[in-house]
């Protein structure tokens, strides 16, 4: 197959590109690198089966030639990112999703949407099955991400029902692993970075809120199963093993051997208190279930982070004391890791790439096509 992956240079998108290429598919990666890292796909640039297009899918998602499937992963995904880029997040969830759907319709291709457990909001039902409609604040600070994904699901189903697009929806729960950005503000990357740098681990609230953490290799297997299935869903993809944030912090401190203390900060507005997926549908229909235990997955992730001391040192200032929508990335971090300058073209990428010149829509900033 020839598969288009939007947001393909990001954490999750780049792992999906790797998996598709390993099984013999061709991959076209679309990304504007607003939160992605070009180094995530640098090792693929000389593979004749891989093509990179520097493009904002909120503006255009045109791809010449045959396309058999479109995996739409483009979106800021961590709270600091989407709180700093609210309009871009809404644009990629709406216009970006429609552009990706138009591409799938034009090419008669399979379409898979990377949605999120955030569509459930701060859930009133626990654990969360796909039949739950959610408890989302439509005007809260997190609504730019939550509602963009809810709209993305709605427009995907509308294209399926109206135009016969072969669509599938994955609701992705907390995913972690190598290639996470140390400064992205997500709990696993923050804890590991802080522990390895000897900084205090920042816990929001009392630490009793729960999450369910899925290792990236398992999540990618789920996306591939959905891509190949022809099923609409939605399907919860995540690890149903639930643990508190405090338990996660304790595991990270044990794995790193860090003496870091723990600091507590106020719980962000609308932050969900409990999160655990019901994966019965994915298990029965897709034949998918996670295989990598949390401790093993964290061990692999810690090893990857530890191999990048320069990035960790530069990122420490960005996450010291926690992040919110007003927290800028420090100049020292951008200087130390120039490939991560937000919104800039991939100067570090080798020559095998395609520039897709396009003008942004007048009411949509052109910096939204970031990886999940």
3-state helix, strand, coil in the chain (%, to 5): 40, 15, 45
Q: Which of 129, 121, 111 is nearest to 1 (CA)?
A: 111
Q: Which of 82, 120, 145, 333 is catalytic?
A: 145
- The backbone torsions φ and ψ at residue 304, rounded to the nearest 5 degrees and listed phi first, read -65, -45
Instruction: Please state, in angstroms and rounded to a whole number, the distance separating the CA atoms of residues 56 and 197.
Output: 35
- Buried/exposed 104-135: b ≥16 CB within 10 Å, e otherwise: bbebebbbbbbbbbbbbbbbeeebbebebebe
Instruction: Please state, in angstroms and rounded to a whole number, the distance separating the CA atoms of residues 289 and 42.
Output: 30
Residues contacting residue 46 through CB under 8 Å, at least 6 positions apart: 350, 352
Question: Among this protein's residues, is 145 annotated catalytic?
Answer: yes
Task: Quote the tokens at residue 324.
Answer: 């919110």
Angle, helices 11-22/216-229, rounded to nearest 10 degrees: 60
Angstrom distances, CA of residue 275 to CA of 42, 116, 117, 120: 34, 12, 8, 9
Instruction: Please state, in angstroms and rounded to a whole number, the distance separating the CA atoms of residues 158 and 154.
Output: 6
Q: Which of 265, 260, 262 is nearest to 199 (CA)?
A: 260
Positions marked active-site:
145
């Amino acid at each position: 197959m020839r598969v288009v992956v939007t947001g393909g240079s990001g954490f999750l998108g780049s792992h999906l590109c790797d998996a598709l290429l390993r099984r013999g598919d061709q991959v076209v990666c679309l990304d504007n690198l607003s939160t992605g890292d070009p180094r995530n796909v640098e090792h693929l640039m000389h593979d004749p089966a891989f093509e990179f297009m520097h493009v904002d899918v909120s503006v255009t998602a045109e791809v010449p030639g045959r396309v058999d499937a479109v995996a739409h992963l483009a979106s800021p995904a961590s709270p600091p990112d989407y709180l700093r880029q609210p309009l871009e997040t809404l644009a990629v969830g709406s216009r970006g999703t429609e552009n990706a759907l138009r591409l799938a319709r034009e090419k008669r291709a399979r379409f898979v949407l990377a949605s999120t457990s955030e569509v459930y909001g701060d859930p009133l039902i626990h654990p969360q099955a796909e039949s739950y409609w959610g408890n989302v604040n439509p005007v809260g600070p997190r609504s730019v991400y939550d509602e963009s994904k809810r709209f993305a699901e709605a427009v995907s189903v509308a294209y399926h029902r109206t135009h016969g697009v072969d669509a599938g929806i994955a609701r992705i729960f907390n995913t972690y692993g190598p290639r996470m950005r140390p400064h992205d503000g997500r709990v696993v990357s923050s804890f590991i970075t802080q522990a390895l740098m000897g900084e205090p681990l920042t816990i929001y609230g009392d630490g009793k809120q729960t999450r369910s953490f899925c290792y990236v290799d398992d999540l990618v297997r789920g996306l591939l199963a959905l891509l190949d299935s022809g099923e609409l869903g939605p399907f919860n993809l995540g690890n149903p093993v639930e643990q508190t944030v405090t338990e996660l912090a304790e595991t990270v401190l044990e794995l790193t051997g860090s003496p870091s203390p723990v600091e507590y900060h106020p719980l962000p507005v609308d932050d969900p208190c409990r999160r655990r997926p019901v994966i019965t549908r994915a298990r029965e229909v897709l034949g998918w279930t996670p295989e990598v235990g949390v401790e093993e997955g964290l061990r692999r992730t810690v090893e990857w982070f530890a191999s990048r001391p320069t990035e960790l040192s530069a990122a420490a200032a960005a996450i010291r004391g926690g992040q919110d929508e007003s927290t800028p990335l420090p100049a020292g971090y951008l200087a130390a890791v120039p490939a991560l300058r937000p919104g800039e073209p991939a100067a570090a990428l080798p020559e095998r790439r395609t520039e897709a010149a396009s003008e942004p829509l007048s009411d949509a900033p052109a910096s939204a096509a970031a990886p999940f």
